[in-house]
Amino acid sequence: MTISAVETILLAGKPVAAEIKSGLSRSIAALKSGGITPGLAAVLVGEDPASQIYVRNKAKAFVKAGCFSETFRMAGDVPQAKLLQLIEDLNRDVRFHGILVQLPLPDHIETKKVIYRIAPEKDVDGFHPVNLGRLLEGVPNFIPCTPHGILKILEHYRIPVKGRQAVILGRSNIVGKPLFALLSQKSKYGNATVTLCHTATPDLAYFTRQADLLIAASGVPGLVTGSMVKQGVDIIDVGINRIADSSPKGYHITGDVDFESVQGIANSITPVPGGVGPMTITMLLYNTVKAAQNLFESQN
């Protein structure tokens, strides 16, 4: 008897993002009729090309959704004190419900100090310790955008989480650690048994082979191959890796998973690009609308 391979389902981010944006447009209209236009202040330090693209795309998405967005650009050698002063000013500026500082920051700037300076009620990236602490406690206010977007993809495509063995590759504060908290929590899109792997994990494949749900957020292109996963695994590929090539753009984007080699083994996988990527900006919009709603509710 021959066993035919399953067809791996593609978990595209765009339809999920569109559904969320359509719900948000009603909330935005309601806020506007109450005199509030959700506003985002984006802070961009230096000339990093990827950061410039990210900030431009975020600003575009906000304007398209009928929200307000302004980008504050600072030179790569800006003194830290000047950046901290800008954050203080934005904390007080009533036009902005959310503040986003595009990472990474130049080496002479202490990233933690900058993040800690953002008022928690405007921390729409969800990186401030108050917001991360609330997340860990199970009472989140702002969930970091990429992990939140991943939950929305799982929910949209009805990928089961409860009772499954989830394995996360990467322990960053912006992806791996918040996801660990979310997936292990006793909640609708939690209740998984979660393993968090990182650079000091010996024999990565030992862990990835146990995964029913595998989330790759290592920033290592093609780290996960077909021989490292079990039949029927659901894979979320968070990686966005720029690979230099001879195309007019000079590069292409790949994920952390060797997409071709998991075909027919994985039950499903998010494509790169077009999977988690479109969700991150959408969840930033979601958090900024939430910040504006929080303010509206506190005033009424």
Residue 58 falls in the annotated catalytic set: yes
Query: For 107, phi and psi rounded to 5 degrees?
Result: -60, -30
Q: Which residue has the tokens 């048994």?
A: 193
Stretch that binds ligand NAD, among 20-28, 86-94, 113-121, 213-221 (CB under 6 A): 213-221
Regarding 276 and contact with ligand NAD (CB under 6 A), the answer is yes
Least distance between ligand NAD and beta carbon 13 (Å): 9
Residue 102 falls in the annotated catalytic set: yes
Regarding 252 and contact with ligand NAD (CB under 6 A), the answer is no
Q: Which residue has the tokens 């890796």?
A: 241
Q: Which of 16, 101, 175, 262 binds ligand NAD (CB under 6 A)?
A: 175
| Catalytic choice (21, 122, 123, 125) | 125
Stretch that binds ligand NAD, among 60-68, 114-122, 199-207, 260-268 (CB under 6 A): 199-207
Regarding 288 and contact with ligand NAD (CB under 6 A), the answer is no
Q: Which of 97, 176, 224, 234 binds ligand NAD (CB under 6 A)?
A: 176
**Long-range contacts from 191-195, C-beta under 8 angstroms, 24+ separation:** 191/161, 191/162, 191/163, 192/161, 192/162, 192/163, 192/164, 192/165, 192/166, 193/163, 193/164, 193/165, 193/166, 194/166, 194/167, 194/168, 195/165, 195/166, 195/167, 195/168
Regarding 147 and contact with ligand NAD (CB under 6 A), the answer is no
Q: Residues 6 or more apart from 129 whose CB is under 8 A from it?
A: 116
| Catalytic choice (102, 122, 152, 290) | 102
Q: How far apart are CA 262 and CA 135, in angstroms?
A: 32
Regarding 146 and contact with ligand NAD (CB under 6 A), the answer is yes
Residue 249 falls in the annotated catalytic set: no
Regarding 11 and contact with ligand NAD (CB under 6 A), the answer is no
What's the order of all strands across the beta sheet hosting 98-101? 68-74, 39-45, 98-101
Residue type, 39: G
> Known catalytic residues?
58, 102, 125
Tell me which residues touch ligand NAD (CB under 6 A): 146, 169-172, 174-176, 197-199, 201, 204, 217-220, 223, 238-241, 276-277, 280
